[in-house]
Amino acid sequence: MNQAKSTDQNLRSTLARLIEERALFLGEFKGPSGGQSDYYIDMAMIFTEPTGLEIAISLTLGELEKLDVDKIASPSVEADPIVAVVGMHAKLGSLFIHRGEPIYAYEKLENLLKSGRKVAIIADVTLSGNTVLSAVKTLRAAGAGVKAAISLVDLQKGAHDLLESNGVKFIPLVEAKDITVPKKSERP
Amino acid sequence: MRIGAVKFGEFTLSSGKKSPYYVDRRLAPSYPDVLDRIGDLYVDVVKNEIQPRWKIDRIAGVPTAGLPVATVVSQKMRVPLIYVRKERKGYGLGKSIEGVVDSNDHILLVDDLVTTGHSTIEEAGILRSVGDVHHVVVLVDREQGGSENLHGAGLELHCLVKITDVFAYLKELDAISPKTYETVMEYVKASEQTSARQVVVASESSEINRSEPT
């Protein structure tokens, strides 16, 4: 294993531990698509804290380097912080499509895509992948070629299959299997 | 300006009022070099004008338009970020403030622009339920009474640029016609006078707020 790869692996497990420590909440939660879950991951707890943000930035930049894209996009307000700073460091323009709707008042998405149409979406958390897919559709309708979607944490609830079947390469940085969620019976 | 973030024509602002110009604050992140440079300018203002006399524990951002730049400032300064949700999500934790804040933390409000200051005062009000808010830094002061209104609410406004300086600069560059310049300058002047009357009302109401037991 080369050094870059092992550093990347270390960062991924550091991020997974940080999520367990700071961003994992136990209880009964309703998901964005209505499903029930006995835990919830709030990536705002990672992006708002300088160390967590740095780790998330490095990992995302590492994946972006392997892709040939000229824009990145956020599919929801929760992903805006990471998308904005990653865009700045990668020197890529960032676009914001919240739940399928571009946030711009007087500028067309088409115009913003003129300087480059190859887009990667960066999501904070993915479950079914529906939120990401709605951003993909909006971007494609505006003439973008959506190459890939990077997910900081994929909870393995269908996002992989949904996005890949729609021609989007799916790249999770941390997956549900990497995170230790205490079983209900073991919870205090 | 290079990126066409200031547009001229007829626009309806979020307040419902009409304006002959519009600052499209959502465009900056489309230009990473601009976002980076703006971030550095915010950091300069914070380091020169605020930090020497006020400790900063948290940087607060305002979604949607203000969150990207607040995150950039938070990262550059390595100060934890928090942000207020105007609408709580109907799922997950349903929190109104994201991030971690300890009681009595000094919170610096970082936003992109101020017009009359009313929405900023509202944001500060929410943040004051969890910490101490005294300073607000924005990219553009639209000079429509924002600074005075914020002052009345116990907030000090710091801005990177004033809108009239932007207009003067654009006129200098021949980027806008003398007629457009005149129209927008008159607009700013007129709305300044209107909001001067509102200041009295705003400071009166903030007096009432302050006398309430906390």
B62-73 pLDDT, tens digit per residue, is 988 899 999 999
In this predicted structure, the answer to whether residue B184 has a pLDDT above a threshold of 90 is yes
Residue ranges covered by each domain of chain B: 31-211
Tell me whether residue A159 is in a domain.
Answer: yes
Domain that holds residue A35: 3-179
Q: Scan for tokens 């009295």, then name that residue.
A: B200
pLDDT at residue number B95: 76
B92 token code pair = 């997950």
What is the identity of the amino acid at B139?
A: L
Nearest-5° angle of CA B24, CA A48, CA A120?
Answer: 60
Tell me whether residue A107 is in a domain.
Answer: yes
Of B27, B35, B81, the CB nearest to A48: B81
CATH number at residue A134: 3.40.50.2020
* CA distance readout (Å), A147 to A22, A120, A175: 31, 6, 20
- Ramachandran bin of A104, using left for φ above 0, alpha for ψ from -120 to 50, beta for the remaining angles: beta
Chain A interface residues (partner B, CB cutoff 8 A): 25, 29-32, 40, 42, 44-45, 47-50, 53-54, 57, 77, 80-85, 87-96, 98, 103-107, 112
Quick check: B67 and A77 CB within 8 A? yes
Tell me whether residue A185 is in a domain.
Answer: no
Tell me whether residue A32 is in a domain.
Answer: yes
Closest approach of B61 to chain A, Cα-based (Å) = 10
- Three-state secondary structure call for residue A73: strand
The architecture that CATH gives domain B31-211 is: 3-Layer(aba) Sandwich (3.40)
Determine the Cα–Cα distance for residues A175 and B130; give it in Å rounded to an integer.
34
In this predicted structure, the answer to whether residue A30 has a pLDDT above a threshold of 90 is no
* Cβ pair B160, B138 in contact under 8 A: yes
If one counts the domains in chain A, the total is 1
- Burial grade of B88 (CB within 10 A; 0-12, 13-18, 19 or more): exposed
* Cβ pair A162, A131 in contact under 8 A: no
Tell me whether residue A186 is in a domain.
Answer: no
Quick check: B67 and A105 CB within 8 A? no
A118-146 pLDDT, tens digit per residue, is 999 999 999 999 999 999 999 999 999 99
B115-161 pLDDT, tens digit per residue, is 999 999 999 999 999 999 999 999 999 999 999 999 999 999 999 99
Tell me whether residue A66 is in a domain.
Answer: yes
Kindly indicate whether the ipTM for this predicted assembly is greater than 0.85, answering yes or no: yes
